[in-house]
Chain A
Amino acid sequence: EAQVTQNPRYLITVTGKKLTVTCSQNMNHEYMSWYRQDPGLGLRQIYYSMNVEVTDKGDVPEGYKVSRKEKRNFPLILESPSPNQTSLYFCASSSQGIRTDTQYFGPGTRLTVL
């Protein structure tokens, strides 16, 4: 089954404790992206990757890091989480660099930073 998986689905942590949210897709997609969803703000893009070892900032990259060492994986790293990073996070992937294709979204990770 074609899918995007994220782990963990729920996470409660404390300020400053480094964490990683994993994202994996089994569709051999080149393009992957991370979004955060906040009430009234819709989805905002954090980082995206056009292919292995190619990443770029989205609209809200501050406080986040990503890496793309393998085509299927695109982890999101919060080196020193802060309460304003409490949010619902989605990973997405698509083929051909999103030029014409649709994005497939993961189920989401709800992060709470205390």
Chain B
Amino acid sequence: AQSVAQPEDQVNVAEGNPLTVKCTYSVSGNPYLFWYVQYPNRGLQFLLKYITGDNLVKGSYGFEAEFNKSQTSFHLKKPSALVSDSALYFCAVRDIAGYSSASKIIFGSGTRLSIRP
């Protein structure tokens, strides 16, 4: 069964420093991987996705993520954090191994990112 793990409930970073939000996954086939962000009292917004191709994916707001197949990871990164990046971040995976699982998407439990000025 497919699964997603976000091992850190909270990540605290000083403004201007690089940030990393970790995500590992487990699927039976090839994964489609996503990062979403949720600001307070809002729905989720898409940040970036990995489907195939280059392992380094660039997304919205200066974020990027690196797909590492051997480590089954898809960590979210940003070179220089902003206070406005403070939000709840979700990693998600979809397993494309077979039609029966083709439309299910599994979300991680979320990581709260807090950027201090």
Contact = CB atoms under 8 A, between A and B. Distances in A.
Interface of A: 4, 31, 33, 35, 40-45, 48, 50, 56, 58-59, 90, 92, 97-100, 102-108
Interface residues of B, number: 26
Contact of B104 (A40, A41, A45, A105): A45
A41 B51 CA distance: 25
Interface of B: 6, 9, 32, 34, 36, 41-46, 49, 51, 90, 92, 94, 96, 102-110
A99 B43 contact: no
B27 to A, nearest CB: 15
Highest count of chain A CB atoms <10 Å: which of B9, B34, B44, B106: B44
A106 B44 CA distance: 8
B90 A48 contact: no
Given A43-B90, A98-B94, A100-B32, A59 B109 contact: no
